[in-house]
């Protein structure tokens, strides 16, 4: 278990809430009814019901906090704290029966992500972190392994939008696209991926994950040479330029080689 923190009560409540939401999701996963949103992504009745459940529980516990999420307008109080909810991250995977999707709940205080909990229901796993107190998976401390170079068998995840902008020929390793930004972030923390790349992700996609990945030792950077902290990652959502997540030396290694497609370079 983590040391006691000023967010101990919030952490225990949100872990229990994520486990509850994950159980509901698993019971209903094969029965979801998808609809197409204006941006052509899917939303299901399960997405909406889970977000309402999570909002209700958080609103009862912390009435002064702002509540935001993927499917509904902001609600709740006007305090310094904001909860960012992604009821199902990877809805397209869920709809097609691909067992890689997550429930994500992040807490942002004065613009700084301070707490993140991500459940991956198909895997039965729960990830969490509090700023300054490490990252954890089911009670096991996570440390992202660093290295000076990438091996040809290292897993690097390029999200769909990033894959259409970053030239994959400039990325060494085995390229993946998991379809869930939350899974990608915690998998880098857990050494299942050695890096991931984002483009277009919203606050609810990264609010919890940046706490977990950074507490496991990951950092964030862009092809322009910028190095971002978790607060800047959230502030810059939706992510407007390819942004890489990796341990420090791996980040430098991947950025030293990564390039945009020639056409993307010309357009910029």
Known binding-site positions for Mg(2+): 70, 86, 88-89, 205
Q: Which residues of 99-111 are buried (b: 16+ CB within 10 A; e: fewer)?
A: ebbbbbbbbbeee
Token pair 């094969």 is at which residue? 30
Q: Which helix (H) or strand (E) holds 264?
A: helix 262-267
Q: Is 46 helix (H, G, I), strand (E, B) or coil?
A: helix
What phi-psi label fits residue 90: left (phi over 0), alpha (psi between -120 and 50 degrees) or beta?
left
Return binding residues.
70, 86, 88-89, 205
Tell me the C-alpha to C-alpha distance, in Å, between residue 100 and each of 62, 90, 91, 121, 236: 30, 7, 9, 8, 26
Q: Which residues of 10-46 are buried (b: 16+ CB within 10 A; e: fewer)?
A: bbebbbebbbbbbebbeebbeebebeeeeeeebbbeb
Enumerate the H helices of 29-130 as residue ranges. 45-61, 91-95
Measured torsion, CA atoms of residues 115, 163, 249, 185, in degrees rounded to the nearest 10: 20
CB 68 within 8 A of CB 84: yes
Token pair 């606050």 is at which residue? 203
The tokens of 268 are what? 């910029």
Provide the 10 A C-beta neighbour count for residue 73.
7
Q: Is 5 helix (H, G, I), strand (E, B) or coil?
A: coil
């Amino acid at each position: 278990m983590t040391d006691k923190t000023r967010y101990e009560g919030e952490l225990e409540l949100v872990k229990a809430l994520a486990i509850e939401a994950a159980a509901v999701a698993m019971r209903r996963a094969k029965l979801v009814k998808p609809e197409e949103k204006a941006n052509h992504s899917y939303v299901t009745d399960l997405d909406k019901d889970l977000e309402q459940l999570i909002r209700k529980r958080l609103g009862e516990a912390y009435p002064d906090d702002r509540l935001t999420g993927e499917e509904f307008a902001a609600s709740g109080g006007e305090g310094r704290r904001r909860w960012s909810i992604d009821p199902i991250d990877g809805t397209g995977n869920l709809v097609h029966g691909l067992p890689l999707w997550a429930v994500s709940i992040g807490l942002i205080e004065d613009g700084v992500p301070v707490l993140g909990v991500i459940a991956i229901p198909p895997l039965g796993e729960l990830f969490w972190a509090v700023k300054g107190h490490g990252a954890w998976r089911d009670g096991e401390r996570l440390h992202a392994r660093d290295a000076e170079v990438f091996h040809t068998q290292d897993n690097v995840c390029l999200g769909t939008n990033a894959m259409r902008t970053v030239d994959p020929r400039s990325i060494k390793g085995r390229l993946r696209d998991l379809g869930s930004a939350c899974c990608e972030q915690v998998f880098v923390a857990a050494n299942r991926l050695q890096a991931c790349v984002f483009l277009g992700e919203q606050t609810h996609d990264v609010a919890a994950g940046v706490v977990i990945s950074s507490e496991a030792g990951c950092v964030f950077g862009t092809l322009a040479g910028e190095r971002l902290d978790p607060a800047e990652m959230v502030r810059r959502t939706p992510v407007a330029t390819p942004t890489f997540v990796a341990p420090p030396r791996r980040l430098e290694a991947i950025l030293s080689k990564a390039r945009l497609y020639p056409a993307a370079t010309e357009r910029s």
